[in-house]
Amino acid sequence: MRTLVLALATALLLTPLAHAQQTLTIGVQESGTVQWEIQTIKRLGLDEKHGLDLQVRPLADSRAGQIALLAGAVDVILSDFVWVSIQRGDGNMVTMVPHSLAVGGLMVPSGSPITDVADLAGKTIAVSGSPVDKSWVILQAYYNQATSGTLATDANARFGAPPLVNELLASGGVDAALNFWQWNARAKAAGMTELLSVADMLATLGLAEQPPLLGWTFTDETATTKTAAISAFLDASFDAKAVLLTDDTAWDSLTDLMGASGEPALFTQLRDDYRAGIVPGYDPADTDAAAQAFALLAQYGGSDLVGDQDQLAPGTFWGGYRK
């Protein structure tokens, strides 16, 4: 009897600790595809499953997220490994764990005479972003390797926001377009053709593996002071990815959020392209692809893209987690 009483007392003492939740504030872009994963985490209670009180703060865009992170207004944001490496080089000690492999690509209209990257000479290309957009730099490197030419001078580039890029391509205002993957999915559903993905370009340029361009990003200080909360969030994130990768019914509640209500072809294209970019696991020692990609971007994008660095900064990927 005494043994039983002691066992019950021990259980009662440990129960509050076992169910104690740690709070983490994540900043996410309101219109971003990352919302699909966050909604899945919340709908399935994956944050609570891992003992996490996950607070979600909407952000206007990626730049707002970076400012919020550095100001300490949020604990975690989604950012790219180049920005993380640059920040570390500048003394802002942030780190990341990969979130997505999804990349954009070069789109052309159906029946386009452009069948190879060499055909871009003399053509007009709409490019999402600016002259230092990573995909544009990678396309220039690919073009240079294929033709020995300089795409920025051989073709006419028009830079703009993703919706404008798609509009220009659909209206015939440009000959080709380089856009983010989710906007390319919309172009595909509308009958356009992806001539080359950025992943294809990187493979041809010598990267045996596709680098994780985007990752959950947080400061070294948060990684130290909120280690358990960060790990719990990452566990919930990978759980959600596994569900979205394998369970078609998990997508039923996301249709409106995807902007694909009443458009089954678009819904399927977005879902399948999203799945193609899902990161299934994480080994902090496996950073070769990112290091190679960074060196490539430094070579072709220069200081306007990567600052004074020419190599990936140590600690860009957090060593405190493995999946």
Instruction: Give the helix/strand (H/E) hosting 165.
Output: helix 162-171
- Write down the pLDDT at residue 20: 60
- Write down the pLDDT at residue 31: 84
Give the integer Cα–Cα distance in Å for 86 and 313: 7
- Write down the pLDDT at residue 42: 97
What does the pLDDT look like over 121-146, one tens digit per residue? 999 999 999 999 999 999 999 999 99
- CA atoms 177, 182, 128, 105: torsion sign: negative
Average pLDDT (105-126) is 97
Residue by residue, DSSP assigns 75-112 as SBEEEEHHHHHHHHHTT--EEEEEEE----EEEE-TT-
- Write down the pLDDT at residue 137: 96
Beta partners for residue 11, in sequence order:
none
What does the pLDDT look like over 192-245, one tens digit per residue? 999 999 999 999 999 988 899 899 999 999 999 999 999 999 999 999 999 999
CATH 3.40.190.10 range(s) for the chain read 2-101+212-306, 105-204
Average pLDDT (261-268) is 96
- CA atoms 287, 235, 35, 74: torsion sign: negative
Average pLDDT (108-114) is 95
Q: Reply yes or no on domain 2-101+212-306 having CATH 3.40.190.10.
A: yes
- Write down the pLDDT at residue 21: 79
Nearest one of 105, 107, 274, 264 to 192, comparing CA atoms: 107
Nearest one of 207, 220, 265, 237 to 95, comparing CA atoms: 220
- CA atoms 148, 159, 198, 83: torsion sign: positive
What does the pLDDT look like over 59-104, one tens digit per residue? 999 999 999 999 999 999 999 999 999 999 999 999 999 999 999 9
Question: Residue 13 above 90 pLDDT?
Answer: no
What does the pLDDT look like over 162-202, one tens digit per residue? 999 999 999 999 999 999 999 999 999 999 999 999 999 99
Strand arrangement, sheet containing 176-179: 156-160, 124-128, 176-179, 105-108, 193-197
Prediction pTM value? 0.90
Class of domain 105-204: alpha beta
